Amino acid sequence: MDSAYLIETIIKVVVILLVFSALAGIGTYFERKVLAFMQRRLGPMNVGPYGLLQVAADGIKLFTKEDIIPTGVVVKIFKIAPVITAATAFMAAAAIPFLPSFTLFGYEVHPIVSDINIGILYILGIMAVGLYGPLLGGMASANKYSLISAARTAAVFISYEVVTGLSILAPIMMVGSLSLIDFNEYQAGGISEWIVWSQPVAFVLFWIAAFAETGRTPFHLIANDHEIIDGFGTEYSGMRWGLFFIGEYANMFFISFVIPLIFLGGYGDGSLLGALGLLAKVAFFFFFFLWTRAAWPDVRPDQLMWLCWKVLMPIAVINVVITGFVMMF
């Protein structure tokens, strides 16, 4: 039994690494197509039918591009920073139930690496550790603009982790558990049981904070694409830059799973329809990341900090207090 569990766990880890690494590349294709559609362009069209092979071309380019280590960088830290970003993104996936349990050749498969009873706390903690990737990458670079980007990263991540934690506290009080599977079971009664109806404020706050945690527009102050430099990744090339890239898109997919699991019923009663429903919710939230990039401008750093500390955090605290009073009476 122990050997079967070990083999199952190893297979699930390998599948998550392979699938979501590939999805990071596929996600860029969809992003470029969505942005092109919204800006009345065609997007990738030349490599393969409808540009589908552009994903493979980009992957080959990253793997074969020369890995340059600029003069003046702190070499060991410069090399390890991209690994931290990608590793923490995939480590967070260990506590996420991607689908309901199903039977395959007579063996029951649980599509979660480890259903630990502090799953949400684990995910938030690993996401917090992910800060050190871009922070160390910028600090180790011999470039003052990379250092400024690293400082922005620390400010944004640390600030919005507070909002993320406070927003999720009210739903945790209701469910009485930190396991995402328990959250799913709490809402298994149907749409009327979804936590979003009783915690709409927490849902909106968590969703807003997700943009900051993943470094996406309109909170894309970590490495602005429209600036002359690429933030903390300015001096990176080849697959080291690719690891930062994979970490960002993997985080987008994982947070797109976490939001519906906590607030929108997850996979419901575990049926095939529930599993397809979860995947549809994930697709919507991932699309919303892309849509927002096409539709919203970036805000200034001071505006972002003002929004966090003077608007979102007080609202989150008030929501927790109100939830506590309602549960008491």
The tens digit of pLDDT for each residue in 204-223 reads: 999 999 998 888 888 777 76
Torsion, Cα of 131, 135, 140, 146 (10° steps): 140
Same domain, 100 and 232: yes
Alpha helices by DSSP H, listed for 73-223, are 75-91, 119-129, 132-140, 144-175, 180-186, 195-198, 200-214
Give the model confidence (pLDDT) of 70-113 as tens digits: 888 999 999 999 999 999 989 999 999 998 888 877 778 888 88
Contact 81, 234 (CB under 8 A): no
- Separation between Cα atoms, residue 206 and residue 160, nearest integer Å: 9
Same domain, 72 and 58: no
Same domain, 99 and 44: no
Same domain, 34 and 135: no
pLDDT at 121 over 80: yes
Least confident window among 61-75, 164-178, 227-241:
227-241
Residues with Cβ within 8 Å of 271's Cβ and at least 6 positions away in sequence, in order, are 100
State mean pLDDT over 249-270: 92
State mean pLDDT over 237-244: 88
Same domain, 100 and 123: yes
Which of 64, 82, 97 is the endpoint of a domain? 64
Same domain, 43 and 89: no
Same domain, 268 and 323: yes
Q: What is the DSSP letter of 224?
A: -
Give the model confidence (pLDDT) of 25-57 as tens digits: 888 899 999 999 998 899 889 998 988 899 899
Contact 298, 218 (CB under 8 A): yes
What is the predicted pLDDT for the residue at 144?
86
- Separation between Cα atoms, residue 27 and residue 33, nearest integer Å: 10
Q: What are phi and psi of 109, to 5 degrees?
A: -105, 130
Structure tokens at 50: 């409808």
Closest by CA to 243, choosing from 93, 131, 132, 133, is 133
Same domain, 39 and 101: no
Same domain, 230 and 264: yes
Same domain, 194 and 144: yes
Listed as own residue / partner, the contacts of 69-74 with beta carbons closer than 8 Å and 24 or more positions apart are 70/141, 70/142, 70/143, 70/235, 71/142, 72/142, 73/140, 73/141, 73/142, 73/235, 74/139, 74/140
Looking at the DSSP assignment, which residues form a beta bridge with residue 103? 108
| Number of structural domains the chain divides into | 2
pTM: 0.91
Same domain, 133 and 239: yes
Same domain, 38 and 125: no
What is the predicted pLDDT for the residue at 22?
86
Q: Tell me which residue range forms the domain holding 245.
A: 67-107+115-328
